[in-house]
Amino acid sequence: MPVWVIGTYDREGKPNVMTVAGGMACCRKPPLVGIALREATYTYQILKERPAFTVNIPSEAYAKEADYFGIASGRTEDKFAATGLTPVRSDLVDAPYVEEFPFFLECRLVHTIELGSHTLFIGEILDLKADEDVLGETGFPDIEKLKPLIFDYGNLIYQGIGGYLGKAFVMGKELKK
């Protein structure tokens, strides 16, 4: 699973961050992402009141902070103060992003779907921003520079990405009749 950090402002305007592995890109037109949250999380409660969030992609260097964001609750802790990371108000949505993380999406909540143990919050991506030093020649983030974290759900460990394997939508063509 990918490791994403969701940024929100609570009722008092305190910035909060929560780690999710249940995140996915789910539509291209309009551009949408989904995050699956349990009702017990503070972020769930916040999103019911303030319908905006950021999706921040931590790099390997921030694995410890991302893990902490997933074991502490903003109900009782100030996660930015505890880690020394910096919340910055998005220009576009009512949510903070994590300045030190290299890549983030700015989303407004457009759908909420109760699924059972989890609720899928679907956000429309209004913009995405990346540090210049993680951009590749194409102008898009280069995954080997970004160094995102992978969460192994079965073994409860984080890993970095491995190396290049092949071109998507190309390497499978050999097997196509």
Ligand X SMILES: Cc1cc2nc3c(=O)[nH]c(=O)nc-3n(C[C@H](O)[C@H](O)[C@H](O)COP(=O)(O)O)c2cc1C
Q: How many residues belong to the site for ligand X (CB under 6 A)? A: 21
Give the C-alpha separation, 46 to 133, whole Å: 33
Distances (CA, A) of 144 to 5, 48, 133, 147, 167: 19, 36, 11, 5, 14
Residue 145: its H or E element: helix 143-146
Options 11-19, 86-94, 123-131, 139-147: segment touching ligand X (CB under 6 A): 11-19
Instruction: Give least dist CB 32 to ligand X, A.
Output: 17
Q: Is the dihedral of CA 133, 141, 62, 121 positive or negative?
A: positive
Interface with ligand X includes 43 (CB under 6 A)?
yes
Give the C-alpha separation, 61 to 50, whole Å: 30
Interface with ligand X includes 64 (CB under 6 A)?
no
Give the C-alpha separation, 152 to 105, whole Å: 23
Instruction: Give least dist CB 44 to ligand X, A.
Output: 7
Q: Contact 37/55 with Cβ under 8 angstroms?
A: no
Interface with ligand X includes 72 (CB under 6 A)?
yes
Residues between 94 and 153 with contacts to ligand X, criterion CB under 6 A: 151
The one among 7, 18, 55, 101 contacting ligand X by CB under 6 A: 18
Instruction: Give least dist CB 36 to ligand X, A.
Output: 5
Give the C-alpha separation, 17 to 153, whole Å: 20
Interface with ligand X includes 42 (CB under 6 A)?
yes
Which residue has the CB atom at the shortest distance from ligand X?
Answer: 70
The one among 33, 41, 47, 122 contacting ligand X by CB under 6 A: 41
Interface with ligand X includes 70 (CB under 6 A)?
yes
Q: Which is nearer to ligand X, 32 or 36 (CB)?
A: 36
Distances (CA, A) of 166 to 111, 134, 140: 35, 20, 17
Which spans of this chain sit near ligand X (rule: CB under 6 A)? 3, 16, 18-22, 36-38, 41-43, 67, 70-75, 151
